[in-house]
Amino acid sequence: MKSFALAALALAAVAPAAAQAQAPSPGEAAFRELFKEMVETDTSAATGDCTALVRKTAARMTAAGFPAGQLHIFIPDGAPKAGNLVAVLPGKDPKAKAVLMLGHIDVVNARREDWVRDPFAFIEQDGEYYGRGVSDMKAQDAIWADNMIRYAAEGYKPPRTIKMALTCGEEGGGVVNGAGWLAKNQRELIDAGIALTEGGGGDLDAQGRKLAVTVMAAEKSGGNFVLETTGPGGHSSKPRQDNIIVSMGQAVANLQRLDFPTELNAFNRAYFTALAPRVDAEAGAAMRKVLTDPQDPAANAILNRSVSWRAMMRTTCIPTLIEGGHAANAQPQRVRTTINCRTLPGSPLEPVEAAIVAAVNDPAVKVIGMNGGPPRPPAPPLTPQMMAPIQAVAAKVFPGVPVTPMQETFGTDSSRLIAVGIPTYGFSALFRGDDAGNIHGLNEHISVQSVMQGREFMYRLIKAYAEQK
Ligand SMILES: [Zn+2]
């Protein structure tokens, strides 16, 4: 009894700020149920249904008191499973531009046989949530819907209207992109003076310490190249000297030579400048070195140990799909490899193709296709109106952690809205480690603390924007 009381006193004496930040926010149990339902509703292109999820989320919001007349479900023609949900909470000032929370609810396909746990079961274990989409990006989707429910329940009426769009199809797989569809067909309904979606958030080091709050200031573009080699085939019992699976194997091995130069723009410069004093001494020195000498081999070798830092600094290309042959007892006639490239903002794809051809170094292996998508519009500038509320909320929720712009290693739906004139930023307030919770891969995860702190952060941040003049 005595030691318990002493321990409690000691805790109260040393950690009042931390205790305050970690006190549960109102409605956490209801939020967890909402998040669980989102994860357990399969929204992958192969086996899922976004329309089922938007109906469930709309029903849950209605049951929690959100006015049904302010919820709109849109199902694009010919895509019955690609439903989207838009919610509107009107503000007091009809002339003030709205604040929009945007999130894609579809997820990358998950093969049950490859996962340790069922990908569509919401599992909490050792302080982590597991399940397809917990990190990309159903935690943020659940936070958006939860925000709407909380604001409506409070009778909150700020000057600016608050909107939410939960969309389907960002991850591809042949599904109509809902953000693009809304931008084209419901431009007025989703109009906003500022929109937030996935990207950025916060970086954790290997020990789980917070390094920085990150705001996406630019994102990479991407494209796929298809390599192909063909041959006459024939009976497998009479093999020729050459075999196109072997030659494709060699071509793919040669891709190891592909190494694009380090290129730093204003955003990754700001990011490394902010991180250098907060990471271990070796990484910090390497960050300072590349800021003055971007090609320094030793500094690059140290930073390249992080998959995030490596990808931030240069264009990358990797083989992601391979198919070949047509029968176990036949020599192969056709082999194809898909190479997925991620280019730095503003960099064209054509020089990348030339670099691939040079690395492969086999005229029999040809580039037969390139799919680059439309060029991404430049991101809107990080204005003081955009950054000041993030700085202010971060000082309260994550005291002592710096806020920095960053260049994301992937692309988001922000480009779809930027293209129609809605300033859209990537910011999640969710802290993740170097692997970002292994998004798109196996056993996707995110920490419970990261989600609950992100929820509290976004509840305050969206209010701060909604009250801006
Ligand atoms: Zn995503």
What CATH number is attached to the domain comprising 92?
3.40.630.10
| Cα(408) to centroid(ligand 1), Å | 12
Within a domain: residue 268?
A: yes
Q: Are 328 and 308 in contact (CB under 8 A)?
A: no
Same domain, 254 and 193: no
Within a domain: residue 407?
A: no
- Out of 349, 371, 393, pick the residue that ends a domain: 371
- Residue 28 is classified by DSSP as H
| Cα(419) to centroid(ligand 1), Å | 19
Same domain, 440 and 366: no
> What total number of domains does the chain contain?
2
Q: Are 377 and 420 in contact (CB under 8 A)?
A: no
Same domain, 253 and 349: yes
User: pLDDT per position in the chain (469 positions), as tens?
Assistant: 334 433 333 444 344 444 444 567 789 999 999 999 999 999 999 999 999 999 999 999 999 999 999 999 999 999 999 999 999 999 999 999 999 999 999 999 998 888 888 999 999 999 999 999 999 999 999 999 999 999 999 999 999 999 999 999 999 887 899 999 999 999 999 999 999 999 999 999 999 999 999 999 999 988 999 999 999 999 999 999 999 999 999 999 999 989 899 999 999 999 999 999 999 999 999 999 999 999 999 999 999 999 999 999 999 999 999 999 999 999 999 999 999 999 998 888 889 999 999 999 999 999 998 887 667 888 899 999 999 999 999 999 999 999 999 999 988 999 999 999 999 999 999 999 988 888 888 899 999 999 999 999 999 999 999 999 7
Same domain, 237 and 183: no
Structure tokens at 354: 């030339």
Q: What phi-psi label fits residue 176: left (phi over 0), alpha (psi between -120 and 50 degrees) or beta?
A: beta
Same domain, 254 and 353: yes
Q: What is the CATH number of the domain that holds 327?
A: 3.30.70.360
Within a domain: residue 116?
A: yes
- Out of 315, 340, 371, pick the residue that ends a domain: 371
Same domain, 171 and 227: no
| Cα(104) to centroid(ligand 1), Å | 7
| Cα(5) to centroid(ligand 1), Å | 46
| Cα(198) to centroid(ligand 1), Å | 6
Q: What domain range includes position 328? A: 219-371
Same domain, 293 and 241: yes
Within a domain: residue 35?
A: yes
pLDDT reported for residue 3: 40
| Cα(324) to centroid(ligand 1), Å | 30
Same domain, 168 and 228: no
User: pTM for this one?
Assistant: 0.89
| Cα(138) to centroid(ligand 1), Å | 9
pLDDT reported for residue 23: 64
| Cα(444) to centroid(ligand 1), Å | 12
Q: How far is CA 251 from CA 121, 239, 357, 369, in A?
A: 40, 20, 10, 16
- Out of 319, 352, 371, pick the residue that ends a domain: 371
| Cα(440) to centroid(ligand 1), Å | 9
| Cα(439) to centroid(ligand 1), Å | 8
Within a domain: residue 405?
A: no
Within a domain: residue 7?
A: no
Q: How far is CA 25 from CA 39, 45, 94, 146, in A?
A: 21, 34, 31, 12
Same domain, 163 and 232: no
| Cα(137) to centroid(ligand 1), Å | 5
Q: Count the helix, strand and coil residues of the chain and give each as a percent rounded to the nearest 5.
A: 40, 20, 40
